[in-house]
């Protein structure tokens, strides 16, 4: 069921992003007087199509990994004399630049709208309060202690663990002092702690900023109470029910949910003697965990989930803005994520970020499914970031991508004449090789993660 949800989620996300991207090209082409022959979401044989009154075919094709807008162009076939003024190649270089750049700009616009909706509707998060600090870790050496709230990294404000992680990841490759500003439990003035780092997070796959610092986020105590029991799995077969509290395993007391999970994971196929509290009464039960393979390791699995716990109000944060203030915040967040994406590409090229961090369709599908299950807020946030990534990647000066065409047209604008067909043909082959190689690498790393 999870795989189906992942597939549906990624089709929805990619379909929406591709449609917006291609609509950007389409809309500007129409405004520039270019005849659009086909607007296709997906590649290959059309599964559905129809024509509008302008003669444009709108199609949904079988392979949902891209799309295209096919325009009237004399370089791709003969054009009737009375239609030549509507051909793409007959338009001014500035019109062609506008048409090419409109696709990526549409992706940035989609991200702006998505972030604006999130800021207006309000997002719920938890304060980035330190739960524990590993002994002799960089955080411990810098004087960070449990109970402190991280309010800024390198001077940039942080209101959630997501903010903290983004700020830490954006400093990959840093050597020197990493400034972490914190508030104590009773203090009102932030204190700055200097964490000494060397080639921060370089070549980590994936980057683990909090673990590398030695910080574990604070979480409320989670008692070992079952919130859900899956039918047909080991927990249900043992007679466990939602609401049961696990008191002891093999006579040893269970302190919290993680302690119970740890014992189950290390005992696949072994019978465990449970002491369970149900409606004020204590029951003795036997449980034999099933097994699952995770990253080459066999672990115990019982098919049960924990009962959710409420976060104390003092740890909760509601981030919400009015419609006008949200515009500025959405622009700021879009710009921040764009810079982060560009910087990540640069760092991958210079070797600070391992190529194995590349993600392909399998990873995108998994994350899309996970965020969809986490709620609409997470799903929209992921879609916005993916839209920015699509916009940035399409603007890279690689032939076959929008950025490659844009580079040719900018050269033409400067020189006063177009780049020769021979040069463009060579660039096309190089571009196809680069893009094909990147796609194969991303798919390979996807499969390795499985």
- The yes-or-no answer on residue 277 being catalytic is no
54 and 38 Cβ atoms separated by less than 8 Å: no
**Ramachandran region, residue 124 (left: φ > 0; alpha: ψ -120 to 50; beta: rest):** beta
Give me the residue label for tokens 């109000």: 313
Closest C-alpha among 256, 248, 197, 252 to residue 225: 256
Question: Residue written as tokens 């590349």?
Answer: 358
Six-digit token string for 275 = 């002491």
How many whole angstroms separate alpha carbon 131 and alpha carbon 229?
Answer: 29
Which one is catalytic: 22, 57, 293, 421? 22
Which residues fall within 8 angstroms of residue 187, CB to CB, at 6 or more apart? none
b/e burial code for range 25-39 (CB count within 10 A of at least 16 → b): bbbbbeebebbbebb
Q: Which residues pair with 49 in a beta bridge?
A: 59
Residue recorded with tokens 């003092």: 314
* Nearest-10 Cα torsion for 239, 240, 244, 246: 110
What's the CA gap between 24 and 109, in Å, rounded?
Answer: 10
Six token digits for residue 342 = 């560009």
User: CA 432, CA 435: separation in Å to the nearest integer?
Assistant: 5
Work out whether the CA dihedral 243, 249, 254, 257 comes out positive or negative: negative
Sheet architecture: strand order including 272-278 = 252-253, 245-249, 272-278, 281-287
Write the DSSP string, 131-167.
EEE-TTSHHHHTT--TT-EEEEETTEE--SHHHHHHH
Angle between helices 161-169 and 323-349 (to 10 degrees): 40
Helices (H), 238-298: 257-265
Other C-beta atoms closer than 10 Å to the C-beta of 66 total 14
Q: Active-site positions?
A: 22
């Amino acid at each position: 069921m999870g795989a189906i949800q992942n597939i549906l989620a990624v089709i929805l996300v990619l379909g929406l992003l591709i449609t917006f991207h291609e609509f950007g090209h389409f809309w500007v082409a129409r405004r520039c007087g270019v005849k659009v022959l086909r607007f296709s979401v997906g590649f290959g044989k059309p599964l559905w199509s129809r024509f509008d009154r302008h003669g444009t075919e709108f199609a949904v094709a079988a392979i949902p990994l891209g799309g295209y807008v096919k325009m009237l162009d004399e370089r791709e076939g003969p054009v009737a004399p009375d239609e030549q003024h509507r051909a793409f190649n007959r338009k001014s270089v500035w019109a062609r630049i506008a048409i090419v750049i409109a696709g990526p700009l549409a992706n940035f616009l989609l991200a702006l709208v998505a972030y604006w909706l999130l800021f207006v509707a309000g997002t719920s998060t938890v304060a980035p309060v330190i739960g524990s600090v590993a002994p002799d870790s960089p955080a411990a050496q810098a004087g960070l202690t449990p109970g402190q709230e991280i309010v800024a990294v390198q001077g940039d404000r942080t209101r959630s663990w997501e903010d903290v992680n983004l700020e830490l990841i954006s400093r990959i490759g840093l050597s020197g002092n990493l400034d972490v500003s914190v508030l104590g439990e009773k203090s009102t003035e932030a204190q700055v702690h200097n964490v000494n780092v060397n080639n921060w997070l370089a070549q980590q796959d994936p980057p683990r900023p909090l673990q590398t610092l030695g910080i574990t986020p604070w979480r409320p105590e989670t008692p070992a109470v079952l919130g859900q029991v899956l039918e047909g799995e080991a927990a249900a077969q043992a007679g466990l029910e939602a609401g049961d509290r696990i008191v002891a395993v093999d006579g040893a007391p269970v302190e919290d949910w993680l302690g119970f999970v740890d014992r189950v994971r290390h005992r696949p196929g072994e019978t465990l003697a449970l002491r369970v509290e149900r409606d004020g009464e204590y029951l003795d039960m036997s449980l034999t965990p099933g097994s699952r393979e995770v990253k080459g390791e066999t672990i115990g699995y019982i098919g049960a989930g924990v009962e959710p716990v409420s976060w104390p109000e003092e740890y909760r944060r509601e981030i919400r803005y009015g419609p006008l203030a949200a515009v500025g915040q959405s622009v700021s967040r879009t710009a921040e994520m764009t810079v982060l994406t560009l910087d990540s590409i640069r760092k991958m090229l210079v070797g600070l970020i391992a190529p194995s961090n590349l993600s392909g369709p399998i990873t995108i599908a998994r994350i899309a499914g996970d965020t969809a299950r986490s709620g609409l807020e997470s799903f929209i946030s992921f879609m916005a970031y993916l839209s920015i990534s699509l916009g940035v990647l399409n603007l890279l000066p690689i032939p076959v991508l929008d950025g490659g065409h844009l580079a040719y047209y900018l050269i033409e604008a400067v020189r006063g004449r177009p780049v020769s067909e021979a040069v463009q043909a060579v660039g096309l082959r190089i571009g196809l090789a680069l893009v094909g190689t990147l796609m194969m690498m991303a798919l390979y790393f996807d499969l390795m993660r499985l």
